Amino acid sequence: MDELLTKYMLNETTPVENETISRWLEQSEDNRRYFNHFKLIWDTARNLKTESKLDPETSWAEFKQLAANVKPGATVRSISQPKRWLRVAAVWLAIFGCAALIYTLNKPGKPNILTLQSNNAVKKITLPDSSVVTLNKTSQLVYPDRFAGNTREINLKGEAFFDVAHDKSKPFMIHVNSVTVRVVGTSFNIKSAGDSTEVIVETGIVQVIQQEVEVRLKPREKVMVKSGRFKKGSTQDDLYSYYRTQKFVANNTPLWRLVEVLNEVYHANIVIDNKKLGNRVITTTFKADSLDNILKVIKDTFGVEIIRKPHLIIIK
């Protein structure tokens, strides 16, 4: 690769070779770092040409000619300018040696592992690959300060929404409970509670894997994984995104579903007096602030009574 990079610096590469270098740069951060170090050495050599009185382009051509003319077992004859040949060879061997040394000294070790705890606040973070994660309250994200190798892997406890940067060569993988969620570039929500894990997809294709079982999800599809069982379905509302949007969006949503979410968010114990009332639908948008204000809208919309008891709210 060094010789190909040198040709690139000399503008001698063909379109096919340029494409080879582009693909090599896209493969990993280490390759891009090596390229930057190589270019730094090259530029330094060019800056030194006035002192050394050796033109980099000419000396490289001479160095290649020298290397090509020396064959195994051949007798090396003296040439008209032995000192110049030695200087050319010495300069380029020094350049390659410095490049290798700088790369070795700067080659990154193992990534540092970081932990983000959201505690009592929703937090948003941009990962090293530019993926954006919105972490719900009382959740935890464990991730590296850079993604090394062929995958981008993190660990989640709780709930988070992911907007993953596209990188087909480096799949993004989230480990939650005993489930692995694998994507290339997409957006989706993951919620874990106890031994259950729910995945809801907004855009793209998501693979949900547990042991040898795999389920593929498309937009507006979801899956619940619990005790080794997969329950796949479709999502009919956007209530799951309340912590990201700070709104409860009900669009022809059954009252029982809205109450289910309110109980979870506000740690409340709201019950509906009868099944028929629970199946009535509502279309509106609530701000995710006061539970009392939301209950007042429900009361006015359905003409119901809100009965408050210790640790219990009844919609009747």
Rounded CA gap, 18 and 12, in Å?
Answer: 10
Residue ranges covered by each domain of the chain: 2-106, 113-234, 239-315
Contact indicator for 138, 154 with CB cutoff of 8 Å: no
The parts of the chain modelled with pLDDT lower than 50 are: 50, 76, 78-80
Predicted pLDDT of residue 63: 57
Predicted pLDDT of residue 106: 55
Predicted pLDDT of residue 32: 84
Fold of domain 239-315: Phage tail protein beta-alpha-beta fold (3.55.50)
Q: H or E stretch including 242?
A: helix 242-245
**pLDDT tens digit string along 150-208?**
999 999 999 999 999 999 889 999 999 999 999 988 999 999 988 899 999 999 999 99
Predicted pLDDT of residue 130: 93
Region 113-234: CATH code: 2.60.120.1440
φ, ψ of residue 228 in degrees (nearest 5): 80, 5
Cα 280 to Cα 199, 233, 238, 276, distances in angstroms? 26, 21, 18, 7
Quick one: which of 113, 111, 107 has its CA closest to 147? 111
Would the pTM of this model clear 0.85, i.e. be above it? no
Predicted pLDDT of residue 79: 45
Predicted pLDDT of residue 257: 92
Rounded CA gap, 241 and 249, in Å?
Answer: 9
Rounded CA gap, 304 and 193, in Å?
Answer: 32
The Cβ-side half-sphere exposure at 110, using a 13 Å CA radius, reads 4
